[in-house]
Structure 1
Amino acid sequence: MSAETITTSQAADIARDAETMPRSRREELDNVVIDDLDLLGIALLAGPANVIMQLALPAVGYGVYESKVHSGNLFKNPTKRTRTTLTYLAVAATGSPEMRKAYRQAVNKSHAYVRSSEASPVKYNAFDPKLQLWVAACLYRGWEDMQRIYGDPAKITEEAYQQGAVMGTTLQMPRDMWPATRVDFEAYWQSTIAAIEIDDTIREHLLAIVRLDFAYPAIRLLGRWYSEAMTIGFLPPEFQEKMRIAPTPAQRRFFAAHNAVARQLIKVLPKPLREFPFNLLLADLNWRRRTGRPLV
């Protein structure tokens, strides 16, 4: 079954089947809540870099690039795509069991259409737990980087790592697929990166994200240099190398100065501002559920 021929009825069947995939320990996992959210808002600055890390894996990259779900396409609906992606992060980290289940079901309906066709350079399926593991691993590594840059590296503990699994288990990744320890995670991380090759098609797609080509013209004009400096700055060296990009000396100085100011700012901001816009997105999600509006 290809992404080009899948029907609405078939998509519904696929989404329904996905709900029953990893049933073991689902209730336990849905009750995991990450309670340290002080860096949640500032983490948005590293969002584009994290997206590049996720899409660097060819099956994930082509799954997004070729997706027929145009309503969730960043370049066609940037506002909606940003809202749904950030809402997923908020729900996975802090949502109630009922909220996670509702959002999982909504995401499944969209993911059912994200399947490779015979013409695709690589095979992919949005329900593939191996791909969800990689995306969850990127999100967790991004959290570690935020702690090292803006927070407290002492918070990077084994317990915090185990909580990070919720980024994948909120969808279809079985809990036992998450590397058992941080040492195992590092081995998985390094071996996966070593095997990644970014072709010209996906590279250009990712560079378009760095350049803000998806944004409204005024935002693109005013924010491109800032986006490039911050995205390349947050991007780990091995991904910079694979993307064949590097910060200029001016961008390096700006990135360092920006982060020094941000570290001090985080210390004095009230909690609601530190968690913005994720707290607002959770309120929006609750409103959508109450009023019967689409969640994604």
Structure 2
Amino acid sequence: MLQVADPRVAQGVADHSDFRKRPLARLIGTLDFLIIVTFGTEQEAERVGHAVRRVHDRVTGPGYSGNDPELQVWVNATLIDAALYVYTEVLGSPSGDLADEYVRQAALVAEVLGCPPDQQPADLASFRRYMDEKIAALEVSDTGREVARAVLWPQRPRWLRPAGGLNRFLTIGLLPPRLREQFDLPWSARDERLLRLLLRTGATGYRLVPGPVRRSPRHLALHGARRRIARRARAHAPA
């Protein structure tokens, strides 16, 4: 939602993404990329980055390009911002103050896609300034609102619709108020109280799970991402 608040990103998604027909495939593909870049080897990160850059070569249109460093910084910044919010505000920095180091390390995601390091916020303070200035300047387009509706009320897969209400509620609640208004999404004081209750409950449950158990899915996620990426590579290989 933050990403498509930028009209150029929204237009690129509307023109080139098949997320309406295959939302889970789109999500899993993005997660596989992030998992490999985060937990895989340097060679794996470069290979998957090269594959995404080739896809982005075709994502062009009036006023936007998938390889535009400015848009790459913004898309990556939305991921960093969400992770920082959960870690610091929801969970209360359970492993200490890692925010500044996280900002520096997470810049690798955009760098792998070809974004020069000197175009990204260098530390936590500059990242906070960047987000504040960017959000204050954004003006959501009609295309952005259309994409947002498709994201929040997906038609497929039908079996996931029961969970859609919770996902929609959390997504709307975590948006900056200025952008929530521009997306024409209603929000009340009662909604805010319920959101805080849900976040506190989730944080409490997280703390009750032993650290080794919380971290164990990382290896399974990496194994699954490698298998799916290899399968997609075979499917698109020349006969």
TM tier, shorter chain? 0.7 to 0.9
Describe the superposition over 1:135-160 as per-residue Cα deviations: whole angstroms up to 9, x where unpaired.
11111111110111124175244222
Residue among 147, 150, 155 paired with 1:208: 150
3-state SS of the aligned residue for 2:2?
helix
For 1:46, the equivalent position in structure 2 comes to: none
2:26 is the counterpart of 1:81: yes
Higher helix share: 2
Describe the superposition over 1:247-285 as per-residue Cα deviations: whole angstroms up to 9, x where unpaired.
344533332222122112112335576358664442123
3-state SS of the aligned residue for 2:234?
coil
For 1:193, the equivalent position in structure 2 comes to: 135
For 2:69, the equivalent position in structure 1 comes to: 129
Question: Unmatched 5+ residue regions in structure 2?
Answer: none
3-state SS of the aligned residue for 2:67?
coil
| Rounded Cα–Cα distance in structure 2 between residues aligned with 1:246 and 1:155 | 34
For 2:84, the equivalent position in structure 1 comes to: 144
AA of the residue aligned to 2:5? A
For 1:254, the equivalent position in structure 2 comes to: 194
3-state SS of the aligned residue for 2:156?
coil
| Rounded Cα–Cα distance in structure 1 between residues aligned with 2:156 and 2:213 | 24
| Bigger mean CA deviation after superposition, 252-261 or 171-180 | 252-261
For 1:66, the equivalent position in structure 2 comes to: 15
Pairing of 1:37-56 with structure 2 (within 5 A):
52-56=1-5
Residue among 101, 105, 122 paired with 1:180: 122
Question: Unmatched 5+ residue regions in structure 1?
Answer: 1-51
User: RMSD value over aligned CA atoms?
Assistant: 2.5
Identity among equivalent positions (%) equals 27
| Rounded Cα–Cα distance in structure 1 between residues aligned with 2:230 and 2:149 | 39
| Rounded Cα–Cα distance in structure 2 between residues aligned with 1:53 and 1:289 | 27
TM-score (norm 2): 0.85
AA of the residue aligned to 1:227? N
AA of the residue aligned to 1:133? V
TM-score (norm 1): 0.70
| Rounded Cα–Cα distance in structure 1 between residues aligned with 2:114 and 2:57 | 12
